Each structure stands twice: as C-alpha cells, then as structure tokens.
Amino acid sequence: MTITALTADVLVVGFGKGGKTAAHVLADAGKRVVLIERSENMYGGTCPNIGCVPTKMLVHYSGAKRLADDAQEYFARSTAGVRALTAAFRAGNFEALDGKDTATVLTGTASFVDPHTVAVGEGDDRITVTAPTILVNTGSEPVLPAIPGLAASPHLVTSTELTKTSNLPERLVVLGGGYQGLEFAAIYRHFGTHVTVLEAADRLLPREDEDIAEAVAEILRGDGVTIVTGAKVTEVRDNGATSTVVYEKDGEPQSVEASAVLPATGRRAVTAGLRLDAAGVRTTPGGAIEVDEYLRTSQPDIYALGDVNGGEQFTYISLDDARIVLDQLLGRGKRTTTDRRAVPHTLFVTPPLATVGLTETQARAQGRNIKVAREKVADIIAMPRAYTVEETRGVMKFIVDADTDLILGAALLSIDAQEVINTVALAMRHNITATELRDAIYTHPSTTEAFNEVFDKVVSA
C-alpha cells in the first residue's frame, strides 16, 4: 500500500543541527515526529557533510603534510578520508533518528501547502505531512557574486566541491577574505596549492581590531598565501586550462591566473521552493525567515531554526535555537535569543583565531574605560606549550573594564585558541574577573596558563 499522507505532532523541514536536535528530544518525549530532508547526501545537515567536519578535517590533514609527501597523492588520500568520515556520520545521523519508534525521515523536496501541511516529492511519489507544529531548518547556501564570466567559468568551484574533490588545484583564487575564504586559503596552501585571496575591503577581517587582522594576514603571508586587499574583481575570463581573474587595485587593472576560483562572499537562507507564502510565513528583505526572540515566525505554530532565520551562521547557534524552541514546546517557554551572552567564534586558520565579546575598537567607540592586555605568543613565558608543539606564532589580547575588572572581550590567535576561548566566554557569562583568571591554577603545560601572565601585560588604557 502506497502511503500518500502522514500526520505528526511535529514536522521538521531540514536535517540541520537545530532540527535534528529538536527532533530527537521530541521523539524521545513521545511525540510523533516526521523530518524531511531534500538530499540523502545531507543527513545530519551542513556541519558533518560539507561544513565544519570536512573542513576542519582538512585543516588537520593539511597541517600534517610532510615535505616528502607527493602533494597530489597526499591530497587525494586526505579527501578520501574526509569522504569516509562524512559518509559514516551521514549514515549514523539517519539511523539514529529514523530508528526511533516515533520518528520518520522522508527524503525529498518540501513545500508548504498551508500553515500545517507540507508536501514532499511530486507525482506518484508525492506525500503530504500534516502537523500542528512545524520547524523549518533548511540552512543557507553560498551567494554567487554578479561578476561577468564567473557563473559560466568551468573553473568555478564551491566550498562543497573543495571538500570532496580528489584533484588538488595548482592555483586557487579565493574571492573574499572572510572566515570561509581564509580557512580554505590556509588549508589549500598547506596542501601545496598556490593561493591568492582577493578582498574588496582595505584589510582582512574588518570586524576585528586592526592589529589582530594584521597578525592573521602576517601568518598567512608567511605561509605563502598572496593577499590582495582593495581588490575589486571585474571579470573572469576562461582560457581553457585556466581562468584569468581580472581585478582593479588602486584604479589599475590587474589579473591573476586560476585553475580554481572560489567565491567566498557570503551565504543566504535556503527558502526558494518552500512556498512560504502558502503558509503565510513572512521573510526579511534578504530572504531569511522573519522570527521573534522565541524563533516563532509570522505563523505562531511555525518556527525557524539555524541559518534560515537570518541569525549568526554557526552550528552552535542552531543548537541553541533548538533549546529555545524545545523550551516553547516542552518547557516553560522562557528561553529566548536575548539570553545569549558572550558567544565565541573561531576562524580555523593555523594557528586558529578565536574571539568573543567586544573588540578594543568597539569598546572605545562605546566610551568604555578599558584596559588592554596584549602579548605575543612567542613572548609568553608562562605558556611553554606553544614551544612544545612548535607553534609560537600569534597573539593574545583581552579587553578589560578598568572600573570593574570584568572581561569585555578577547581575541586569541594561538595554538588551542578554539578551546581556550570557551573558558573566557564562560568567565564573561558568570562575571569572573580578569584578576581571578590571572590568579587561577591551570594544568601545565597548557595554553590556558597563559592567563597567569597575559593579564599583567597592559599595553594601553
């Protein structure tokens, strides 16, 4: 018997972090849950398939490459390892949810019929799912800039393709010097590719303090990445085996050859084809689903989680979105997006840059009375771990309220920064002072013990 209609307590559209987390908890609570994912290659969402997991695995592999390794062979082995892991994660994500007695996973393209009904598939394969509560977690996709010749270029590559290909490009040109662009630039340079980053702004990472951004640029240049700022890309010309990326710098036309061109100029919410208008769900001018602080859409029984709601595009934000929605559905309904404080971020170059809170520039613009503690990693005597792992590049910087001794922000460009920043963020959330962090006892040798020294290195006030 062919099933053409299903009913559920909760319908989840999209297998991202927020959606799958909510689906698991709701199913375990006895709710009948149906989750729809448009592609069998995306069970588990962006992170384990084409985002965090494969890119950070490539960071690891590229950093482990030896001079004696053949670049092409080593790269092919590395990406094969990535594909094997992501396939295992994908299967595990599917089985973990679909294997529950109260959960069903459907694969196909979803579109709203009305505020409580979604259709999956077409023709004889069409199934309708009706539920009183619907969660939309369809994520985001790369934005392709309107550069003449780019869309038609045979050398255009996406971040997804770069995590799955077995062929190491000889020359990679990255359009954009943000988080994604710099991560891929660092990864592919360490694999042996000649990498050029073209950034339209006057410097990399404009949201960070200039000294931190320059420290990142210095490390990348030291690794052999060519960085061109103030570069306005005007055209991509196909030359057969390569493409020519034409740009203007200081009003003068210049160009660089590429065997692969990666646009890393932002992402947008995936809402096309969902027929949100049929459900009465409003979107923002940028195309994201409009939500309130409880992640409710213009239809109170439809919620939007993760990148699709226009918030920060990080897996852990999608996870927190799930907590907010679950509190609405199973809890007290009190948790909101306004509860978030001191949310850390990490740029996985080598060494990583991890940040949280205010930059020095932001703090001064707000008129704060601040102290700034700053020290180069190579000069931190209390942090021998940097020498034991032979990675002494980088800097640690903390912004401290001069009146209360509370930490306002931090930028850690160092080994283990992606871990250490979580301690700083926790301290900020619980009003632990800089002095308390400075005088605490840490394991040795560790990166965290740098706190014992850096908080005494006040360079400005």
Residues designated catalytic = 444
Cis preceding linkage at 445, omega within 30: yes
Q: In angstroms, rounded to a whole number, what is the distance separating the alpha carbons of residues 173 and 245?
A: 8
- Which residues does 155 contact at the CB level (< 8 Å), separation at least 6? 238, 242, 243, 258, 259, 260, 261
Q: Where do the H-state alpha helices sit in 99-170?
A: 159-164
Return the bridge partners of 103, or none.
33
- Which residues does 68 contact at the CB level (< 8 Å), separation at least 6? none
End-to-end CA distance of the chain: 74
Q: Which amino acid is residue 384, in one-letter code? A: P
Q: Which of 178, 159, 153, 143 is nearest to 235 (CA)?
A: 153
Q: Which two tokens stand for residue 250?
A: 């200081």
- Which residues does 405 contact at the CB level (< 8 Å), separation at least 6? 433, 434, 435
Q: In angstroms, rounded to a whole number, what is the distance separating the alpha carbons of residues 112 and 372?
A: 52
Q: In angstroms, rounded to a whole number, what is the distance separating the alpha carbons of residues 72 and 80?
A: 12
DSSP helix, strand, coil percent of the chain (3-state; round to 5): 35, 25, 40
State phi, psi for 133 to the nearest 5 degrees.
Answer: -130, 135
Q: Which two tokens stand for residue 217?
A: 């640029």
Q: In angstroms, rounded to a whole number, what is the distance separating the alpha carbons of residues 356 and 376?
A: 18
Q: In angstroms, rounded to a whole number, what is the distance separating the alpha carbons of residues 57 and 46?
A: 14
Q: Where do the H-state alpha helices sit in 307-373?
A: 315-329, 360-365
Q: Dihedral angle at the C-alpha atoms of 253, 256, 262, 265, nearest 10 degrees?
A: -30
DSSP string, 290-319: P--TT-B-SSTTEEE-GGGGTS---HHHHH
Q: In angstroms, rounded to a whole number, what is the distance separating the alpha carbons of residues 282 and 272?
A: 13
Q: Dihedral angle at the C-alpha atoms of 407, 342, 357, 455, nearest 10 degrees?
A: 30
Q: In angstroms, rounded to a whole number, what is the distance separating the alpha carbons of residues 159 and 9?
A: 36
Cβ-contact 307, 301 below 8 angstroms? no
Q: Which two tokens stand for residue 73?
A: 């062979």
